[in-house]
Amino acid sequence: MADRLRLMAVHAHPDDESSKGAATMAKYAATGYDVLVVSCTGGERGDVLNPRLKGDPHIERDLAQVRREEMARAQEILGVEHTWLGFVDSGLPEGDPLPPLPEGCFALEPIEVTTEALVREIRRFRPHVMTTYDENGGYPHPDHIMTHTVSMSAFAAAGDAAAYPHAGQPWQPLKIYYNSHNRAKYAAFHDALLAQGVESPYADWLKDWDPATARTITTRVNCADYFDQRDQALLAHATQIDPDGAWFQVPREMQVAVWPTEDFEAAVSYVPVEPVEDDLFAGIADVAAGDRLATAGDLDIAYDGRKEAKA
């Protein structure tokens, strides 16, 4: 192909990119694709979740800057490009009743504002494939839900010359996927740990899992060779990740043997999706020849996962 294929991964906060699809991004970046992570917010209202760093005066003085530095390290480890969309972290409201979200935060921004900002990045980077969160945000953090909303809105608008005409030349991505939250994966890890006589960190989560939240996996990317990069990128977000926590309870050898893929759910695609794919770019090479595909034009949506029954 005359032009490199490009992947854009849209995330709510720094560290989300390293816990959701990171090995897949590292694989594509290492094999010659252009990969861009978009962080919608700076994570300014996050807590310090690593007990080893609680009370550190440097972190407490400027958490926003620390999280920028962490993101830069994770970006370097994964070998991807990165940009900040520039919105302010909404925080995670807690209490009963829940307090209102802070004024000016990402989750309260008008959808026209957030959409235009992401459309501008799509038209600049010109991704063929995007990834984001499902309509529940993966979990119901207001910034994750807003990330879904703005990603789907921008995916639809970026190729429309009449939409946001000052935000660059139209460009239509061909596919958008949701990062999968796959119960079967964690159930497999749970069973494998118990079989070795090791306590599983997933017991309570599996017990409380609601079957109504099940998703349809359409794509499994084998990326076990990049699990180390994923873990190192995750550890780079030192304020957010406890190195002794649940993220690292499953031995690497077990991960590779039991579940060597990262899984995705096709949401909307202008090319056919034939589950189960092994490549986010499946079917694209025949359509995305160079830069000639700037807009959707006369393309029809070939797959709309939003209309598919969840299984």
Express each pLDDT in 190-229 by its tens digit. Answer: 999 999 999 999 999 899 888 877 889 999 999 999 999 9
Write down the pLDDT at residue 288: 63
Write down the pLDDT at residue 26: 98
pLDDT at 154 over 50: yes
Mean pLDDT score of the chain: 92
Name the domain count of the chain: 2
Write down the pLDDT at residue 214: 83
Please compute the mean of the pLDDT values over residues 261-290 and round it to a whole number: 90
Write down the pLDDT at residue 308: 54
Which of residues 214, 234, 267 is at a domain's end? 214
286 and 165 in a common domain: yes
pTM above 0.85, yes or no: yes
269 and 229 in a common domain: yes
- Other CB atoms within a 10 A radius of the CB of residue 14 amount to 30
How many whole angstroms separate alpha carbon 41 and alpha carbon 114?
11
How many whole angstroms separate alpha carbon 242 and alpha carbon 267?
32
Write down the pLDDT at residue 60: 82
Which residues form the domain of 50? 6-180+217-307
CATH of the domain at 103: 3.40.50.10320
* Listed residue (172, 175, 84) closest to 130, CA to CA: 175
How many whole angstroms separate alpha carbon 280 and alpha carbon 271?
11
pLDDT digits (tens, 9 = 90+) for 118-128: 999 999 999 99
pLDDT category at 293 given cuts 50, 70, 90 is: low
299 and 172 in a common domain: yes
Write down the pLDDT at residue 152: 98
Please compute the mean of the pLDDT values over residues 77-94 and round it to a whole number: 96
Q: Quick one: what percent of the chain has pLDDT higher than 90? A: 79
Q: Is residue 1 part of a domain?
A: no
Write down the pLDDT at residue 298: 61
End-to-end CA distance of the chain: 36
The tokens describing 294, both together, are 């700037």
66 and 131 in a common domain: yes
Please compute the mean of the pLDDT values over residues 24-50 and round it to a whole number: 96
Write down the pLDDT at residue 211: 82
pLDDT at 58 over 90: no
192 SS3 class: helix
169 and 52 in a common domain: yes
Say if residue 144 carries a ligand binding annotation. yes
- Of 93-97, 143-147, 157-161, 190-194, give the lowest mean pLDDT range: 93-97
191 and 261 in a common domain: no
